[in-house]
Amino acid sequence: MKTTHIAILIFGFLTINGFSQSEKEVLTFDPAFAHTVYFWFKNPDDADGRNRFEASLKKFLRDSKFAKTNFIGVPPKSTREVVDDSFTYSLIVTFDSAESQEGYQKEEAHLLFIEECKDLWDKVVVYDSYGLK
Structural domain boundaries in the chain: 23-130
pTM recorded for the entire structure? 0.77
24 within 8 A of 102, measured Cβ to Cβ = no
- Segment 49-61 shows an average pLDDT of 97
| Per-residue pLDDT at 75 exceeds 90 | yes
- State which CATH number among 3.40.50.360, 3.30.70.270, 3.40.50.2300, 3.30.70.100 fits the domain covering 23-130: 3.30.70.100
- Segment 45-72 shows an average pLDDT of 95
| Per-residue pLDDT at 13 exceeds 60 | no
CA–CA dist 42, 18 (Å, integer) = 36
The H or E element containing residue 14 is helix 2-17
Quick: pLDDT tens for 95-129: 999 999 999 999 999 999 999 999 999 999 999 99
Give the amino acid at 80.
Answer: R
The H or E element containing residue 38 is strand 33-41
pLDDT recorded at residue 23 = 43
CA dihedral 104, 110, 114, 117 (to 10 degrees): -130
Between strands 69-73 and 121-130, the pairing is: unpaired
pLDDT recorded at residue 28 = 67
